[in-house]
Homo-oligomer: A and B are copies of this chain.
Amino acid sequence: MGGRGIGEVLQLLQAEFADVTISKIRFLEAEGLVTPARTASGYRKFSAADLDRLRYVLTAQRDQYLPLKVIKEHLGAIDRGLQPAAAGPPVAPSSLPQTPGQPVPEDFGATGTELRLTRDELRAAAGVPSELLDELESHGLVVASGNHYGGDAIVIAQVAAELAAYGLEPRHLRAFRTAADREVGLIEQVTGPRRTEQTGELAALTVRLHTALVRSRLPRS
């Protein structure tokens, strides 16, 4: 109930972030990125929320190379109820609503305003040729609902383009679609077909599982 000591926190985080240390956690507090409670005698006590904050910081650092100064601003924005408004890649004059700067890789929370892109906007935002989009659609990797696409389609298209450079074309990626469908199906089995509080949490967990599994099966150096 009372929160965790710094040693325990270290254990928890080290599974996910190899280079975290006690001194780093203390440093992050000194920089104002977390503010754990203290016991009467001065020991830090980390709540679950503090842990989430730490995970946020470590993830942003590792995956987005953001400087602490910027991460701190994002956290501040979150605290104030805003969304981080990550300055994504500069958008061309054909300005769209906003490219989703992916605040946090594993944030599956409901985004208040879901992006709705026309096909042209999607193409421009992802910077991919129209044919690639066609192929992706024909294999069910990108789907339009009505005549617009969600923000995830940008990421999908961009990644597909990068994979194409390795010789992996959309048709090779069908299995990913299947796997994702099954995964979502499993989640819906638990939470029901409507989006609930749990949906995002579960998705974050299963994606984390997936990532760890892939990593664990990769050939070792």
Contacts and interface: CB of A to CB of B under 8 A. Distances in A.
Interface of A: 11, 14-16, 18, 59-60, 62-67, 70, 77, 80-82, 84-85, 87-95, 97-108, 110-111, 114, 125-129, 141-143, 150-156, 158-168, 172-173, 175-177, 179-184, 186-188, 190, 193-195, 198-200, 202-203, 205-221
Sort A-B residue pairs by CB-CB distance and give the 4 closest, nearest first: A180-B213, A152-B216, A101-B158, A179-B179
A63 B214 contact: no
Q: Quick one: copies of this chain in the complex?
A: 2
Given A15-B151, A64-B103, 15 more contacts: A15-B154, A65-B70, A82-B164, A82-B165, A90-B97, A92-B92, A98-B125, A141-B213, A142-B216, A150-B216, A162-B205, A163-B202, A180-B213, A206-B214, A207-B211
- Among A66, A81, A187, A210, chain B packs the most CB atoms within 10 A around the CB of A210
- Among A100, A102, A106, chain B packs the most CB atoms within 10 A around the CB of A102
Given A183-B214, A207-B214, A90 B98 contact: yes
B89 A63 contact: yes
12 contacts: A16-B155, A90-B94, A99-B127, A101-B161, A108-B218, A159-B206, A160-B209, A163-B202, A168-B186, A175-B183, A176-B183, A179-B213
B63 A104 contact: yes
Given A190-B167, A216-B150, A162 B77 contact: yes
A163 B206 contact: yes
